[in-house]
Chains A and B, each alone.
Chain A
């Protein structure tokens, strides 16, 4: 499953300044592992020690917040776009 991931500026130091990367993954959790496999250390930024996504990070699959889907178990399919967005203030 080829999935496109949009990387926010603060994480691009891990991805050699790439703002967008393509990876194979069938779920959000799988995607986090695939990112870690290619860019060691990135998981520690995305997740806490228990492997849970950090409170101040939002993940979207095709523009939908994964908290409206299946959180980290949200399945991914070919062509999905995942964006990682740090929380921002309003309004």
Chain B
């Protein structure tokens, strides 16, 4: 019998504190428990990555986030549910409306399997959870993460118990329950749900995607950076606008750009990073406006529930990136968010949820304030789908003309519609 040595496909070597650099083994842990409680992040062997990866190897990979698997913290076969490689849409109509020359929409509202960017982070987290021996997975969620964790756990055959605030939109509750997890609707806001989950994670031995699996989970968001580079023909954009909830997504898009530069997959150039928050939950925008590098928590009160995190863990890093890259962080009102949702739908045929409305409204605001140059090649990240939060716009859109199945009835209604349009 011959034994064939197989080369390990993993390219990561462990974890490290982002604050103090203290090293840890690549287990289920998320804070620097030996020193400073800073967040842990994955350490990679970039020489190994460089040796294995080229534009050609990536282009030959699957049409999912796993075409970038060398940059993701897994050891064996991934759970591949077709997540990622979502459209990058050239948004000519919206660009014209806003006065921009070159605008793209990265549309994760059509991500698979649950129509938000969370499918990226959960695909990575559950792959790693399985590798670490967890049989039950969990999360604290504002909705999208619950949908994604429940769906991908079902596909992977993992038991699932997820926690959400009890006031979430019906579509997000239903879009979790259909996968038959145990769903805990907690009477409280997201920050309270998160606190409860930290205590549950301490005692139940479950894999919480955004708690003890967080270092792996958050790496999934880097693929939003890689894909934009590849879809722009292996070039970086000039400016990106993304929603800010905990701030993690924002920092990981940057990390994705930086890693492709480091591995010589794209030419280096400055990219400005701007972040979007809802006024009703804008602790990062407030700190940015006041020139602070620390976050004062707030109690959320906004229709943009998916980004309503009052105590954002990665807020200080998001502020740092916006400052260092010459970007901005701005907040918009609930009314502006609804207008943002409608504007994107009417100009580009993309129906996004409130977080996307926030991003579009902030994009508009920053252009009006001269903080985005019309010449800049700008990418707006749309992270979720509008069909999950129809309540938000139900009272602000038109109504159908109800008519008889007769030509006369149609003619009368058509005349009415045309005069309404001219008014």
Do A and B bind? yes
Q: Interface of A with B (CB < 8 Å)?
A: 6, 8-11, 19, 45, 54-58, 60, 63, 65, 67-68, 83, 85-91
B289 to chain A, nearest CB (A): 18
Residue in chain A with minimal CB distance to B203? A19
Selecting from B89-97, B211-219, B224-232, B363-371, the interface stretch reads B211-219
CB atoms of A56 and B195 under 8 A apart = no
* C-alpha spacing A9/B307, complex, angstroms: 28
B378 within 8 A of A: no
Q: Which residues of A contact B19 (CB under 8 A)?
A: 56
Selecting from B33-41, B328-336, B396-404, the interface stretch reads B33-41
B351 within 8 A of A: no
CB atoms of A87 and B313 under 8 A apart = yes
Interface contacts (Cβ under 8 Å), in number, total 99
Q: Which residues of B contact A85 (CB under 8 A)?
A: 194-195, 198-199
User: B residues 154-196 with Cβ under 8 Å of A?
Assistant: 188, 190-192, 194-195
CB atoms of B245 and A88 under 8 A apart = no
User: B residues 28-54 with Cβ under 8 Å of A?
Assistant: 29-31, 33, 35-39
Q: Which residues of A contact B138 (CB under 8 A)?
A: none
Q: Which residues of A contact B297 (CB under 8 A)?
A: 65, 67-68
Taking residues whose C-beta sits less than 8 angstroms from the other chain, chain B's interface range is 35 or more
Q: Which of B141, B144, B188, B296 contacts A67 (CB 8 A)?
A: B296
B123 within 8 A of A: no
Greatest chain A CB density within 10 A among B29, B144, B306, B311 is at: B311
CB atoms of A8 and B202 under 8 A apart = yes
Q: Which residues of B contact A8 (CB under 8 A)?
A: 198-199, 202
B114 within 8 A of A: no
Additional A-B contacts beyond A19-B203, A58-B311, A65-B311 (15; CB < 8 A):
A8-B199, A10-B31, A10-B37, A56-B19, A56-B36, A60-B195, A63-B192, A65-B191, A87-B37, A87-B313, A88-B198, A90-B142, A90-B245, A90-B309, A91-B190
B316 within 8 A of A: yes
Known contacts A8-B198, A90-B210; decide if A54 and B191 are in contact (CB<8 Å). no
Q: Which residues of A contact B31 (CB under 8 A)?
A: 10, 56, 86-87
B140 within 8 A of A: yes
Residue in chain B with minimal CB distance to A54? B37
Q: Which residues of B contact A89 (CB under 8 A)?
A: 39, 210, 214, 217-218, 246, 248, 313-314
* C-alpha spacing A9/B245, complex, angstroms: 26
CB atoms of A91 and B37 under 8 A apart = no
B414 within 8 A of A: no
* C-alpha spacing A90/B297, complex, angstroms: 14
Known contacts A9-B202, A83-B195; decide if A90 and B246 are in contact (CB<8 Å). yes
* C-alpha spacing A87/B308, complex, angstroms: 16
* C-alpha spacing A18/B195, complex, angstroms: 19
Residue in chain A with minimal CB distance to B191? A65
A8 to chain B, nearest CB (A): 6
Q: Which residues of B contact A63 (CB under 8 A)?
A: 188, 192, 195
Greatest chain A CB density within 10 A among B195, B246, B316 is at: B195
